[in-house]
Structure 1
Amino acid sequence: MTNAAIILLAGTDGHDSLGRVVNALEAAKEFAEADGDELELIFDGAGTTWVPELEDEDHDLHELYQSVRENAAVCEYCSGAFGVGDVVDDSGLVTLDDHDGHPSVRTLVDDGYEVITF
């Protein structure tokens, strides 16, 4: 059994960022499909800007995103700071504000999660 926290920090600008979101979602899917593994997928920083893109049913990655969406959460502070707070709210995704409005990485580590960033 593995506890994994995948944190997506890459924004939507550039080809390299597309590669990072694909790799984050594929890694998340691998953990989600493994029996007994626990997964947290967190959109943080500029990564919050992917939420409107991935929620769009016409986006090429929508289906992959849907396969891990139940494990996803979004930084509350960053979703507002990057202008996607309304879309995040409408999506129904959980927002995290454990540490000064941001997800608590320390809590994840303390809970035995391996933290992987993309």
Structure 2
Amino acid sequence: MTNAAIIILAGTDGHENLGRLANGLEAAKEFAENDGDELELIFDGAGTQWIPELEDEDSDYHELYQTVRDDTSVCDYCSGAFGVEDAVAESGLATLDDHDGHPSIRSLVDDDYEIITF
């Protein structure tokens, strides 16, 4: 059994960030498909900007995102800072604000999660 926290920090600008998103989603899918693994997929920082696009059924990555959506949450503070708080609220995804409005990375480490960032 593996505990993995995949954190998408890459914003929506540039081809390299699209690659980081795709790789992060593929890695998350691999953990989600493995019985016994625990997955937390967190969109944080500029990564929160992906939520409106991924929720769009016409997005190239919508289907892949749907495979891990149940394990997905979003930084509360950053969704506001990057102007996507309405889209995040409409998505119904959980928002995390454990540490000064942000997800608590320390609590994930304390719970024996491997932290992987994209």
Equivalences for 1:40-79 in 2 at 5 Å? 40-79=40-79
Q: Displacement, 1:37?
A: 0.1
List structure 1 segments (4+ residues) > 6 angstroms apart after TM superposition. none
Aligned to 1:2: 2
Q: Displacement, 1:51?
A: 0.2
TM-score (norm 1): 1.00
In structure 2, distance between residues paired with 1:104 and 1:84: 20
Unpaired segments of 5 or more residues in structure 1?
none
Q: Displacement, 1:73?
A: 0.1
Equivalences for 1:1-118 in 2 at 5 Å? 1-118=1-118
Q: Displacement, 1:92?
A: 0.2
| Percent of matched pairs sharing the same residue | 78
The CA deviation string for residues 47-106 of structure 1, in whole angstroms up to 9 with x for no partner, is 000000100000000000000000000000000000000000000000000000000000
SS of alignment partner, residue 28 of structure 1? helix
The CA deviation string for residues 6-49 of structure 1, in whole angstroms up to 9 with x for no partner, is 00000000000000000000000000000100000000000000
SS of alignment partner, residue 39 of structure 1? strand
Unpaired segments of 5 or more residues in structure 2?
none
- For 1:33, give the aligned amino acid: E
In structure 2, distance between residues paired with 1:112 and 1:33: 20
Q: Displacement, 1:4?
A: 0.1
Q: Would you say how many aligned residue pairs link Structure 1 and Structure 2? A: 118
